[in-house]
Amino acid sequence: MCPTLMLESIKQQRGIISVQQFQNLAQLLGKNPKDTAQWLLAHIQSWAVAPISQFQVAALVHARNHQGEDFYTAGVNVELPHCGLESAVHAEQTALHNAWLHGATEIRHLYVSATPCGYCRQFINEFCADTGVEISIGEVDSTLGELLPLAFGPSDLAVSERILDVEESCQLSKGSYGAGEPLHRHLLHSYAPYSGGLAALMLSVGEERFYGRYIENAAFNPSFHPLLAALSQVALAHQGIDFKAIDTVTLCEVESLKSHRDSTEAMVRRLAPQAKFQYHCVSNKAAAANT
């Protein structure tokens, strides 16, 4: 198989790359792992959705799951037309969320096509308890600790558990909305140690289903909105987003002092007015009683 055909296979896999695929690609290209990652980034950049900045960014995460199996996940930046810049998704966010959705319990290396901004460095810090995790930016190798010295993180707010440590944040009552369904499972696996407001979203495009998990951050602002997380999955699957093809958007969240309901509905009405918006709120009393 030639590199071009292998890239087509990766597109069909929503940016998930097995170790075997990565090694085969390196052999076909005659490159070392770092240069192979850079080759991938150069091609994955074209998947970015950047109508505002016209600046395409790609990220690649080398991750490991709880079974000790390594894999790679791609990510690109996603900008939403006619929405505020605060709704923009960074490539690092897309790649890390993609890894988490697919079972990552450890981040081993991060490759980025452009220098991570301060926002992304803070976001990466929530994923990596080890500030020595390597980050390659083109030919430059660095560590998270070097890029984010004197970091403010979970420990500053007395939170010891990191995103990749979480199996299920709580157990909701059996009568809760969609108990046992994929959206319900994503809700339980979401990360909200600062507000307790777990949240997940399902986006339907024809027969396809895309999920986004809410990710909180110690600094609050780099928290990842569940709708943006789901849209980043659409971008990886289709190398773009056809907003007119979105049929249904379903948000499920645990009651807390913050809510994604209004912001989600507003963005859906702006981006995909034809889509049906559904909302389900689970009482935090039910969550607490079953923790």
Show which residues are catalytic. Answer: 92
β-bridge mates for residue 18, sequence order: 71
Positive/negative CA dihedral, 120, 196, 159, 181 = negative
Helix H or strand E segment including 16: strand 16-18
Centre a 10 Å sphere on the Cβ of residue 4 and count the other Cβ atoms it contains. Answer: 9
Q: Using the CB atoms, write b or e for 175-192: b if 16+ within 10 Å.
A: ebbbeeeebbebbbbbbb
Short-list 174, 212, 218, CA closest to 192: 218
Query: Rounded CA gap, 169 and 160, in Å?
Result: 13
| β-bridge pairing 208-213 and 16-18 | unpaired
Distance CA 96, CA 88 (A): 15
Residues 87, 50 contacting (CB under 8 angstroms): no
Residue 22: closest CA among 79, 65, 70, 64: 70
